[in-house]
Amino acid sequence: MSEPISKKKFLKELNDFKKLEQDKKEKVFDLAWKSKEFEIELYWKRAGYFWAFQALIFAGFFSVTSSNDFDEKKYYLHYIICFGFITALAWWFINKGSKTWQRHWEKVVDVLEDYVIGKLYKTNTSEKTYSVSKINELISKFFMLIWLYLLLKSTFFDFKIFECQKDILKVEWKILIVNLITIYIVYEMYFGKGRGRFKERNIQFYRRNIKVN
C-alpha cells in the first residue's frame, strides 16, 4: 500500500516549500502547472485516438453486416465485436486513468498556489457546471456497453456457443477461443498489467564502464 501523507508533510518534503525563496516557489509551481496542462493535453489526444478507433470499427462492423459475399460473415462479425469491446473498455479505463493524473496535478496546483499567486485557480464563479471529461468518460462507457451487448447476443443467441444435439455437446470452437482471448485481455487490463499500483519500488541503476586507451 502507498503511504498517505498530509499536506504539511508534502510541503515539507518539497525542500520545505514554505521557506523557499519566492523565485524557487514560482519554479516549483510552474512545473506543477505545466504538468497539469500536459496531462489535460494527453487526455484529449487519447480521447481523439479512441474516437477514431471506434468509428473505424463500427464502419467495419456495418460494412460486414451489409455484405453477403462470403460464407463466414457471422464469424468475422463476432471478431469485430470482440475487438470493438476490448478497445471501448480500454478507452474507458484510459479515460479514468488519465483523469486520475489530471486531478493529481490539479490538487498539487491547489495546494501550491496559496504560496505563489493566491487562491486564483481554486476560485470559481459558478457553484456547479458540467464536466467535459466526465461526460467523455460516460460516452466511452456507453460504447463499451453497446459492444458488450452485441458480444453477449452474438455468443449466446446468434451462435449458441454450447448446444446439445442428440445427446452430443456441440461447441463453436472459433467463437469459444476468441471469447477466451477477450476474457484474458479484459482480466489483464483490470487485474493484471493494466492496473497501476502505487507501492514501494526497487530501483536499480547501471553504469557503463569506459575503457580509456
Structural domain spans, the chain: 7-190
- Note whether 25 and 115 are within 8 A (CB): yes
% of residues, the chain, pLDDT over 70: 97
C-alpha of 108 from chain center? 21
Say what the pTM is.
Answer: 0.84
- pLDDT for 113 equals 94
Bridge partners (DSSP) listed for residue 165 = 168
pLDDT tens, position by position, 56-112: 999 999 998 888 776 688 889 999 999 999 999 999 999 999 999 999 999 999 999
- Note whether 80 and 57 are within 8 A (CB): yes
- pLDDT for 161 equals 75
- pLDDT for 210 equals 85
205 pLDDT above the threshold of 60: yes
DSSP 9: H
pLDDT tier for residue 170 given thresholds of 50, 70 and 90: confident
1 pLDDT above the threshold of 60: no
